[in-house]
Amino acid sequence: MGSKWRKVKLSLGLNLCAYLPRTTDGDDDGDYHPLPSSERLSDAALLPPSNWENMVPSRTTTPLPSSHCLRLPKSLSKSSSKSSKQTCSICLMKMKQGDGHAIFTAECSHSFHFHCVASHDNQVCPVCRSKWKEIPIRSPGLDPGGRSQNDALMDVAHRLPVPQRNLNQWHIRGPEPGVFNDDESLGHLPVIAESNNNLDNTSDTTIKIETYPEVSTAPRSHSYDDFTILVHLKAAAMAAIRNPSLSGDQVSLLQSRSPRAPVDLVTVLDISGSMSGTKLALLKRAMGFLIQNLSCNDRLSVIAFSSNARRLFPLRRMSDIGQQQALRAVNSVIANGGTNIAEGLRKGGKVMEDRTEKNPVSSIILLSDGRDTINGVGMNSSYPNYESLIPLSIRSGSNREFQIPVHTFGFGTDHDASLMHSISEISGGTFSFIETETMIQDALAQCIGGLLSVVVQELQVCVECMNPKLCLSSLKAGSYRSHVSADGKTGLIDVGDLYADEERDFLVSVKVPAESSQCETALLKVKCVYRDPLTKEMTSTESGVVRIQRPKIAGQEEMSIEVDRQRNRFRAADAMVEARTAAEQGDLAGAVSILENCQRVLSETVSAKSRDRLWVALDAELKEMEERMVSRHVYEVSGRAYILSGLSSHSWQRATARGDSTDGSSLVQAYQTPSMVEMLTQSQAFLLSSPSRQGLLQSLWSQPKPR
């Protein structure tokens, strides 16, 4: 009897099960309510209600102190097998063909709801404890109830090799290591896959420098306290860097095949109670897209946070096995608890700080729909201390570049936009406002399209006056750190990373004295120093000397449209800052007036008269901000976040998602690169790959937007 009893304990998990008596109404159809999650039966709450009546105390076995001893009826095997086809042993709900729930039958012949077993975090049957060779992987986009299915993503990982360590060791149930130095080794990664025949001119083609004085001719008798020169930089496409002779079509053809700098990426995901339902399903779907677009040389770690934070998945290479393990880790999370953004960031920073090896590019992505409810910071506190949320390991220092940029994504109507923007600003990342939750994946796709195309790192722009009579008066560089020497002869801008095809524009102001006899004045030259992320070598390139003609008498010369365009961008950004300050003080009318005045000023510029594209985009953006300040409620719900994501985009000159649009045809998207557009196209194709997905998205898009 002892041997049989051990088998019963193994199959029933009796030491963990609760005995539930039959209801007084005598219902025998198996319909009943499962216990709350806090009282959920173990993996093997196996016997269905129809068999409870056959359970009576055994006389041949010594009772356990904390549980009734149950006699195994002779009909157990047959009745259990029959009932297991009627009741899912994970959620304890009835299974029936055609009721909208997919049913999965395992190799051991036990059946479960597909969405239940897809969330089961090991390869052991919860009924008979046999090991499975086939594990269903639930789509990141599935509705939590399993009612919406994307056939293209509901695949089965056939005959997966069992990892050296069970995934539970990395999941919420297992203990975390004290030091996150268990990152997977990078191995011997290839540096350059194509021919090196054209590497001789790398320094001339990786960064292109152009300069534009505000006017090309100035009378000798005139002096200028604030003469402006535009410094324009553009990073080359990845294929063009290695082969400058390629045509545009050839560059496009080789883009997807080009070697690129591999990435270490940590995603910090909000799984608090407010994320339950559709939001969590959409977040999982977006993570599925991200995971599928990382290569075997990229590494990913996943942090999930609610009231506390947990590392779900260590820094692992995204090989086929790594992708499958990452998908399971993401799919296993459920939403509950509060919102501890600080702890989530601390864990994300610790993963980066403790890693034993480093890929050339590193970044953290933070996604949240709420406010920090644990640490007493944010909009609800009297004196928000946003900087306290940023771990020292990923903060910028006074004598170093940004270490680990945090790209933040706030979605929905209740996230703390000020906090999310501050985190990104302090760390050197961008802030995206996702007004419509269905845009989560597109916003993430745009971001990783950039991260997976880094061609320049540690870029510094040096400006040097070429005339002893000249001195620099200011550098306009947005959020980039800049410095002018005490004698005003040199200036420095720390830019950091550039994506392929990305552009940067800086305005340099100089004091130009009158000339007594010279026909021209040499103003300055520009030098760029940067690291190649593949070869790790430092490289430099210089511009020619910027000069202006100095005739005795000069006619009226029109402002350079290139300089005027960038002046307008800085004017608009300054107006956004002022308007936000007024709005936060409760003066919405004053905020709208500031934006309207800026529009009027911009409308009188050279750019406006020529219908310049950037002017059109800025005008449309300022109007949109005015509309989001019509009332305090509208400003709180979407106006603040829209302004802050706009400021983030303009100050870093990098594309962000704003409102409900990441569409390249939108005039707001002034900084999208071809790599971002390509990844967005893939994301949209991914969303529309299934008719059932179209139906789900159509219903979600039809919901009214909070305006």
DSSP structure string for 491-549: EEEEEEEEETT-EEEEEEEEEE---SS-SEEEEEEEEEEEE-TTT--EEEEEPPPEEEE
Domain endpoint, select from 506, 533, 558: 558
Same domain, 439 and 507: no
Asked whether residue 603 carries a pLDDT value surpassing 80, the answer given is yes
For residue 617, being part of any structural domain is answered with yes
Same domain, 588 and 528: no
d(CA 26, CA 15): 27
Contacts of 106 (CB under 8 A, 6+ apart): 112, 117, 125, 132, 134
Asked whether residue 308 carries a pLDDT value surpassing 50, the answer given is yes
Same domain, 435 and 489: no
Contacts of 688 (CB under 8 A, 6+ apart): 694
Same domain, 531 and 598: no
Q: Report the pLDDT value the prediction gives residue 62, as an integer from 0 to 100.
A: 34
Using alpha carbons only, give the angle 181, 118, 700 rounded to the nearest 5 degrees: 100
- If you ran DSSP here, which 8-state letter would residue 194 be given? S
Q: Report the pLDDT value the prediction gives residue 48, as an integer from 0 to 100.
A: 34
For residue 142, being part of any structural domain is answered with no
Buried b (16+ CB within 10 A) or exposed e, 239-248: bbbbbbebee
Same domain, 406 and 373: yes
Same domain, 432 and 340: yes
Number of structural domains (the chain) is 3
Same domain, 550 and 581: no
Q: What CATH number does the domain containing 469 carry?
A: 2.60.40.740
Same domain, 413 and 501: no
Same domain, 318 and 404: yes
Arithmetic mean of pLDDT, 254-262: 66
Most confident of 14-28, 76-90, 272-286: 272-286
Using alpha carbons only, give the angle 336, 338, 342 rounded to the nearest 5 degrees: 125
Domain endpoint, select from 519, 535, 558: 558
Asked whether residue 161 carries a pLDDT value surpassing 50, the answer given is no
Query: pLDDT band at residue 158, thresholds of 50, 70 and 90?
Result: very low
CB 447 within 8 A of CB 267: no
Tokens found for residue 626: 């005015």
For residue 571, being part of any structural domain is answered with yes
For residue 634, being part of any structural domain is answered with yes
Q: Report the pLDDT value the prediction gives residue 542, as an integer from 0 to 100.
A: 95
Same domain, 413 and 489: no
CA-based torsion, 82, 88, 94, 95: positive or negative: negative
Q: What CATH number does the domain containing 432 carry?
A: 3.40.50.410
> For the chain, what percent of residues have pLDDT higher than 70?
65
Query: pLDDT band at residue 41, thresholds of 50, 70 and 90?
Result: very low
For residue 52, being part of any structural domain is answered with no
Q: Report the pLDDT value the prediction gives residue 200, as an integer from 0 to 100.
A: 38
For residue 187, being part of any structural domain is answered with no
Element (H, E) at 134: strand 134-136
Same domain, 351 and 485: no
| Domain that residue 331 falls in | 263-378+385-452+676-686
Paired sense of beta strands 263-270 and 361-368, if any: parallel
Arithmetic mean of pLDDT, 495-511: 96
Domain endpoint, select from 558, 575, 603: 558
Most confident of 86-95, 203-212, 282-291: 282-291
For residue 637, being part of any structural domain is answered with yes
Paired sense of beta strands 263-270 and 299-305, if any: parallel
Same domain, 491 and 409: no
Asked whether residue 242 carries a pLDDT value surpassing 70, the answer given is no
Would the pTM of this model clear 0.75, i.e. be above it? no
Which residue in the block uniquely carries the two structure tokens 């790790």? 536
Q: Which residues pair with 234 in a beta bridge?
A: 208, 503
Using alpha carbons only, give the angle 270, 273, 276 rounded to the nearest 5 degrees: 85
For residue 273, being part of any structural domain is answered with yes
